Amino acid sequence: MNLRELYVKRRGQFWGEIFPYLGYVIQSGVAVVFLFLLIAFAAWYTALLQQIPPDLPIRWIMMIFLVPLMINSSIRTYLRPADTVFLIPQESRMKEYFSTAWFSGVIYKIIGLGLVMLILWPLYIRSDVSPKPLLATFVVLTLFKLLSSFGSWKEQLMVSRNAAAAYRVLRWIVPALSLAAWLWHPTGRALLFMALLGITYVAALSVPVKHLVAWERLIAVEERQASRVMMVLSWFVNVPQRGQRVHARKWLSGWGKGLAWKKESAYRFLLIKSLTRSDILGILIRVGLLGAFLVWATRDSLVSAIVYLVSLMIIGLQLSALRKLHPESFWLHVYPLPEGTRRDNEGKLIFQVQLFWAVLLWLPLIPSILSAPGRILGTLAAGICLCFCFEALLPGRAGVKTMTTNKWEEAGTLTSRPSIIIIVWVIPFAEIAVRGVATCDFCSAVI
């Protein structure tokens, strides 16, 4: 059996299932949104390069953007549950299979890391008093990216999960310290420190006991990665859903206990428990924290309103995946729900959670409310309007046609999905509205 060909075949089969949906994703307007965001970012970045603040912490900015990219080291293995039976005889030769997976996973991440570095480089060489050479910096980033990917793979093979968690923390520390040494210290001293740190890390990786192939763990990781791809596609089209990882978040176990004990709220209770234990909540927290930080960093300009609305839109897109969690649940047939309550509960929960994040993302703007009350309050008003747009255009709600017989939906696309329509039309108009309120003397005087 040629294991390299097996990997290439499985990769082709997976992406062969994904590519037919990409046409529908482009038709939904995501290309227009991407172009709009690209133009807006290019204009803002060009203006920043022309007027760079004298005290810009460029080294910390490089750390914030580059360290996560250096550490992110997920590898697609395309393993299947049946492999625990049919590939067990090939276990001693699986290094051929996994080496192909590791190389193909790392090369694309290095390209992405290089692109981000090139985008940051004009700002870096104009801001830093003693910038490092471009090629040498890329070599350093590439070497520690390879080292991080190697460490991530070894973590998945470790027998002890506690040891794997400890080495995961170590994997975050090593690239961060190495990049900090490269940016803040002279070249010779930094190279010596990075070499010693890298050698020590590689030697430490050889200590824990490891499986030759951690079949069950690798299969679970692959299923989780495939489900995330399908979850992203489900924002735009109807796709087959795959199992997701269940998180036991005990600190949220009390959420939903206050609901009335009746049929009308039964599905809402199920959605709340599903949200608290799914990957969606983790994504919401990460997007929310990043959005709040960016809103705070740009709080003195109109860019904060755009960042606020885009973050809120991403949160709404993530929440829309709740409608795909229980499409064919057996218990929904055993315990029949009153007609219409399923869509109503979905809409209410999505609206309330998104409104909650709308308020949280707006909190970093409060310190600037005295200097620019029109812009700050206009941003909050635009965010609330965005939440109402999501609720009003949710398919299946009162007054919204689902168009189940439409030829495009029969082909696999959900034509009534409002997300991209809102992105294309609401955000530009919301920006205009915020700008108008912020610059209107009468509005500012009234406020």
Tens digits of residue pLDDT in 328-359:
666 666 666 676 677 777 778 888 888 998 99
Contact, 148 vs 73, CB < 8 A?
A: yes
> What is the rounded CA–CA span in Å between residue 299 and residue 297?
6
User: Which stretches of 106-264 are assigned E, i.e. beta strand?
Assistant: none
Three-class SS of residue 158? Answer: strand
- The highest-confidence range among 200-209, 302-311, 414-423, by mean pLDDT, is 200-209
The answer to which of 64-68, 136-140, 259-263 has the lowest mean pLDDT is 259-263
Q: What is the pLDDT of residue 418?
A: 43
The residue among 322, 384, 392, 398 whose CA lies nearest residue 354 is: 384
How far apart are the C-alpha atoms of 59 and 333, rounded to whole Å? 57
Q: Please determine, for residue 444, whether its predicted confidence score (pLDDT) is greater than 70.
A: no
Burial profile 268-285: b = 16 or more Cβ within 10 angstroms, e = fewer: bbbbbebbbbbbbbebbe
The helix (H) or strand (E) run that includes residue 351 is helix 341-362
The pLDDT of residue 267 is above 60 = yes
Least confidently predicted of 76-85, 221-230, 264-273 = 264-273
Q: Looking at residue 340, what is its pLDDT?
A: 64
Winning range, highest mean pLDDT, from 69-78, 407-416, 438-447: 69-78
What is the pTM assigned to this prediction?
0.67
- pLDDT for 53 beyond 60: yes
Sequence letter at residue 95: K
Q: Which two tokens stand for residue 253?
A: 């176990």
Q: What is the mean pLDDT of residues 408-422?
A: 41
* Res 400: pLDDT: 41
Tell whether the model's pLDDT for residue 21 goes beyond 70. yes
Does residue 173 surpass a pLDDT of 80?
A: yes
pLDDT-derived band at 389 (thresholds 50, 70, 90) equals: confident
* Residue 57: strand, helix, or coil: coil
Within 10 A of 31 (CB to CB), how many other CB atoms are there?
Answer: 12
Contact (Cβ atoms closer than 8 angstroms) between residue 447 and residue 372: no
Instruction: Tell the residue number behind the tokens 């995330």, with chain if given.
Output: 228
Out of 219-223, 335-339, 416-420, pick the least confident. Answer: 416-420
Q: Which residue has the higher pLDDT, 244 or 66?
A: 66
In whole angstroms, what is the distance from residue 271 CA to residue 72 CA? 30
What secondary structure letter does DSSP report for 186? -
d(CA 245, CA 220): 8
Average pLDDT estimate for 231-248: 66
Average pLDDT, the chain: 79
Sign of CA pseudo-dihedral 373, 374, 380, 384:
positive
Can you give the pLDDT at residue 328? 61
Confidence of residue 299 (pLDDT cuts 50, 70, 90): confident
pLDDT at 113: 93
330 phi and psi angles, rounded to 5 deg: -65, -40
DSSP string for residues in 252-298: GTTTTTTS-SSGGGHHHHHHHHHHHHSHHHHHHHHHHHHHHHHHHHT
Q: How confident is the model at residue 414 (pLDDT cuts 50, 70, 90)?
A: very low
Q: Which is more confident, 78 or 347?
A: 78
Q: Per-residue confidence at 397, pLDDT binned at 50, 70, 90?
A: very low
Helix (H, G, I), strand (E, B) or coil at 178: helix
* Radius of gyration for the alpha carbons in the chain, expressed in angstroms and rounded: 25
Query: pLDDT grade, residue 314 (50/70/90)?
Result: confident
